[in-house]
């Protein structure tokens, strides 16, 4: 049936131009002067039948190849590919795991800021905090000089440095770094919060950028909290605890949970004690900045080892 219909279609295509030229004419009119039918019509019809027979042979050969080739190739298909198809439950697990991994990658890529945005935010935020701390210190100094009953934060916590301050800085670094290490091992929620914060800030940075994101926040935050607010409340352990709690509360959000805020409060209290003992803002600045740098470096080293494994 297919060959017969194709032949009719071919005849129609061959003779259609003549029909257009002689619309409304009968086929008996197509005669030469000698009375015979034109030869080109007969030859065209014969050629079309020959083409159809050749095309039919090619079609049969292609059909045989199409039907046989997949059967021969099925034995070569790896079991790892065909396994999910044979087992519906494993197929569902495979699809679920793949889609879950894609969603996780998409979420992490969407939440991860670029290097330029991280550095820009670090500079702007640190600059604003530093300016606020400097303004508070200057206002308190002027008010105290004018006779107001306001602590002179500029004089109470200065930028003086003495060599024995290195002992306070070293002790603070050892205490904070050791506590962080053990908490990461023993407190899963704290480890999760720390990982989220490090991923957001450090994942897109180069190793040389770590110094910037470690020292700028360390210097600016200590100028505000331990250099300006702490002396306003009083240079004692109670004020150090209050300012440390405020410092920790501001570290909530952006993936950092209550555990991270508690940790930041304890660290802020330690920096406050160092400020009270030294009466110098350089001690908490150095301690905070170096602890940031050590934590970032250790995170990069551990992340690199996890990737290689």
Q: Which residues pair with 256 in a beta bridge?
A: 253
Q: Are residues 133 and 62 in the same domain?
A: no
The average pLDDT across 208-227 equals 97
pLDDT of 53: 61
Residues 58 and 123 occupy one common structural domain: no
pLDDT at 261 over 80: yes
| 174 in any annotated domain | yes
Residue 95 included in any domain: no
In whole angstroms, what is the distance from residue 130 CA to residue 49 CA?
93
Same domain for 123 and 257: yes
Q: Are residues 54 and 123 in the same domain?
A: no
Tell me the percentage of the chain whose pLDDT exceeds 70: 62
Residues 178 and 282 in one domain: yes
Contact of 296 with 214, CB cutoff 8 Å: yes
Supply the pLDDT for residue 15: 39
**Residues 62 and 129 both lie in one domain:** no
Average pLDDT, the chain: 77
Residue 158 and residue 21 in one domain: no
**What is the structure's pLDDT at 113?**
85
Residue with the bigger pLDDT between 244 and 199: it is: 244
Confidence class for position 259, pLDDT limits 50, 70, 90 = very high
In percent, the amount of the chain with pLDDT more than 90 equals: 55
272 in any annotated domain: yes
Write down the pLDDT at residue 111. 62
- Each residue's pLDDT tens digit, 120-171: 999 999 999 999 999 999 999 999 999 999 999 999 999 999 999 999 999 9
Under 8 Å between Cβ of 196 and 251: no
pLDDT value of residue 223: 98
Q: Do 17 and 154 reside in the same domain of the chain?
A: no
- Asked whether residue 94 is assigned to any structural domain, the reply reads no
For 12-30, write each residue's pLDDT tens digit. 443 344 333 334 444 444 3
137 and 59 in a single domain? The answer is: no
**Statement to judge: residues 39 and 169 lie in one domain:** no
Number of domains in the chain: 2
Please write the tens of the pLDDT for every residue from 171-192.
Answer: 999 999 999 999 999 999 999 9
Residue 98: inside a domain = no
Please report the pLDDT score of residue 255 as a whole number: 73
218 lies in a domain? yes
Residue 143, CA atoms < 13 Å, CB-side half-sphere: 13
DSSP 84-124: HHH-HHHHHHHHHHHHHHHHHHHHHHHH---HHHHHHHHHH
Between 6 and 223, residue with greater pLDDT: 223
- Residue 172 counted as domain residue: yes
Show the domain range for 152: 118-308
Give just the sign of the alpha carbon dihedral 178, 181, 186, 191. Answer: positive
pLDDT of residue 167: 97
Q: Which pLDDT belongs to residue 197?
A: 87
Do the domain assignments include residue 37? yes
pLDDT in tens, 33-69: 444 444 544 455 555 556 556 666 655 555 545 444 4
Q: What is the pTM of this model?
A: 0.65
Q: Which residues on adjacent β-strands are paired with residue 263?
A: none
């Amino acid at each position: 049936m297919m060959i017969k219909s194709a032949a009719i279609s071919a005849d129609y295509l061959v003779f259609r131009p003549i029909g257009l030229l002689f619309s409304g004419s009968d086929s008996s009119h197509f005669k030469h002067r000698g009375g015979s039918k034109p030869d080109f019509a007969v030859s065209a019809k014969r050629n079309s039948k020959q083409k159809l027979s050749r095309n039919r042979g090619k079609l049969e050969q292609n059909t045989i190849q199409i039907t046989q080739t997949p059967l021969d190739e099925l034995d070569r298909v790896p079991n790892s590919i065909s396994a999910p198809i044979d087992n519906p439950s494993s197929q569902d697990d495979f699809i679920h795991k793949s889609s879950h991994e894609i969603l996780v990658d998409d979420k992490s890529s969407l939440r991860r800021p670029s290097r330029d945005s991280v550095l820009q935010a670090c500079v702007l935020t640190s600059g604003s905090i530093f300016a606020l701390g400097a303004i508070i210190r200057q206002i308190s100094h002027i008010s105290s000089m004018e006779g107001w009953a306001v602590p002179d934060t500029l004089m109470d916590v200065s930028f003086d440095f003495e060599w024995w301050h290195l002992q306070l800085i070293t002790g603070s670094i050892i205490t904070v770094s050791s506590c962080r290490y053990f908490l990461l091992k023993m407190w899963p929620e704290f480890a999760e919060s720390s990982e989220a914060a490090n991923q957001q800030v450090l994942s897109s940075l180069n190793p040389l950028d770590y110094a910037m994101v470690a020292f700028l926040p360390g210097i600016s935050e200590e100028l505000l909290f331990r250099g300006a607010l702490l002396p306003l409340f009083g240079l004692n352990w109670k004020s150090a605890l209050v300012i440390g709690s405020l410092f920790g509360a501001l570290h909530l959000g952006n993936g950092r949970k209550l555990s991270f805020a508690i940790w930041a409060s304890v660290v802020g209290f330690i920096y406050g004690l160092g400020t009270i003992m030294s009466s110098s803002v350089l001690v908490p600045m150095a301690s905070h900045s170096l602890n940031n740098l050590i934590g970032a470096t250790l995170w990069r080293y551990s992340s690199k080892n996890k990737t290689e494994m």
